[in-house]
Amino acid sequence: MTNAHLSIDRDHSEAENIFQDAAFMEALRVQMLKFAKLQVRDSQLAEDAVQEAMLSAYQHIDRFARQAAFKTWVFSILKNKLIDLLRKEKRHTAASQLEEGPNLSGDALIEHLFEENGHWQQDERPKKWDQPDHNVENDDFWRIFDACLEALPAKYGRLFMMREFLEMDTPEICHNEEVSVSSLNVTLYRARLRLRECLEDHWFQKETS
Amino acid sequence: MMKCKQATQMLSEKLDRPLSTKEKINLAMHTAICSPCRQFGQQMETLRTLSQAYTKTKESDEK
């Protein structure tokens, strides 16, 4: 990020340019929609939330001269809208009703990773991740990250995203999704186990090997 | 003595609730001698940082 775009001038015409940059706006809209649909299963509701977030951002466009700052802000609006939607659609798709999915999950996953005596299986031991900080600037990394998220069983993905992306706290998720605290803790644990393994197999090991 | 299976679950739950003193001590004793679980603990923190970065950075999108 050493390009000469670190100016924080809040020049109006420059701000307007954000909206006139069709390629940037389209890419952002696609990304927001994807983010929303990962979390809200009704795609019409997800699209509405993205529209509203964009509209609300447009009304405050003067505040942003940089696309990155704009993007952070519009996503924070979107997150709030998604949390509202999740509260409302509670009865329809609470995570308690979702299946765990066909992939290795639950006890099978635990058995795959750990020996009977509770220690790591030899070849499943976590390896050192090389400089994870650098990945946030790498588009290829985020593609892998997306793929790993999508590979999670629906229930894991939903609860993980509520906790980590929407930053909802444990009591609120339990209330919303009608799951017990211990069940939420176990599900988040399993989601992280899987995500960790997926990232290590498809990104970190690839890089270091 | 805590096993890796329980230790990894504690390392995940640490992100969702405060651990009790007893849990903290047991976990610290385990990670002191178990390097894979130490890695795992760091990676749990990394997962959180990455999730937070998901919607916030991606500066490479910047024109």
Query: Domain-by-domain residue ranges, chain B?
Result: 21-62
Contact A57/A70 with Cβ under 8 angstroms? yes
CA-to-CA distance for A164 and A79, rounded, in angstroms? 11
- Considering only the beta carbons, identify the residue of B13, B56, B62 that sits closest to A189: B13
What's the length of chain B? Answer: 63
Query: How much is the pLDDT for A83?
Result: 87
What whole-number distance in Å separates Cα of residue A43 and Cα of residue A147? 19
Closest residue of chain B to A112, computed from CA coordinates:
B5
Cβ separation A119–B3 shorter than 8 A: yes
Question: Does residue A102 sit in the same domain as residue A127?
Answer: yes
State the Cα–Cα distance between residues A120 and A118, nearest whole angstrom.
Answer: 7
- Contact check, Cβ <8 Å, B55/A79: yes
Backbone angles phi, psi at B57, to 5 degrees: -100, -100
**CATH code at position A39:** 1.10.1740
B61·A67 Cβ contact <8 A: yes
For residues A99 and A85, state if they share a domain: no
* Residue A107 to residue A174: CA distance in whole angstroms: 22
A193 vs B contacts (CB less than 8 Å): 8, 12
* One domain, residues A159 and A193: yes
- Distance, in angstroms, between B2 CA and closest chain A CA? 9
pLDDT at residue B40 above 90? yes
What distance in Å separates the CA atoms of residue A74 and residue A12, rounded to the nearest whole number? Answer: 18
Closest by Cβ to B63, choosing from A21, A186, A189: A21
Residue A177: Cβ within 10 Å count: 23
Q: Cβ(A105)–Cβ(A190) under 8 Å?
A: yes
Distance CA A162, CA A110 (A): 23
Same domain, A77 and A107: no
Q: Does some domain include residue A86?
A: yes
> What's A158's domain CATH number?
1.10.10.10
Pair of tokens at residue A165: 């992306």
| Closest residue by Cα to residue A42 from A83, A85, A5 | A85
pLDDT of residue A37: 84
User: Are A118 and A84 found together in one domain?
Assistant: no
DSSP string, A35-77: HHHHH-S-HHHHHHHHHHHHHHHHHTGGG-SSHHHHHHHHHHH
Q: Provide the pLDDT for residue A182.
A: 94
Tens digit of pLDDT for each residue in A87-102? 776 655 555 555 554 4
Q: How confident is the model at residue A174 (pLDDT cuts 50, 70, 90)?
A: very high
CB–CB contact A189 B12 (8 Å): yes
The answer to whether residue A3 sits within a structural domain is no
Query: Does A102 share its domain with A79?
Result: no
Percent of chain B exceeding pLDDT 70 equals 87
Candidates A5, A131, A185, A200: best to mutate against B (most CBs of B within 10 A) is: A185
Chosen domain end from A90, A124, A145: A90
Residue B61: pLDDT band with limits 50, 70, 90: very low
Q: In chain A, what residues touch B47 (CB-CB under 8 Å)? A: 164, 192, 195-196, 199
| Domain count within chain A | 2
pLDDT at A207 over 90: no
Same domain, A71 and A107: no
Torsions phi, psi for B6 (to 5 deg): -75, -40
Query: Which residue of chain B has the CA closest to A6?
Result: B62
Q: Which residues of B have a CB under 8 Å from any CB of A? A: 3-6, 8-9, 12-13, 15-17, 36-37, 39-40, 42-44, 46-63
Same domain membership, residue A133 and residue A76: no
- Residue A120, phi then psi, degrees to nearest 5: -60, 140
Residues of A within 8 A of B50 (CB-CB) are 132, 135-136, 145
Name chain A contacts of B52, Cβ cutoff 8 Å.
164, 167
Which pLDDT score is estimated for A93?
55
Mean pLDDT along residues B4-9: 96
Residue A48 pLDDT > 70, yes or no? yes
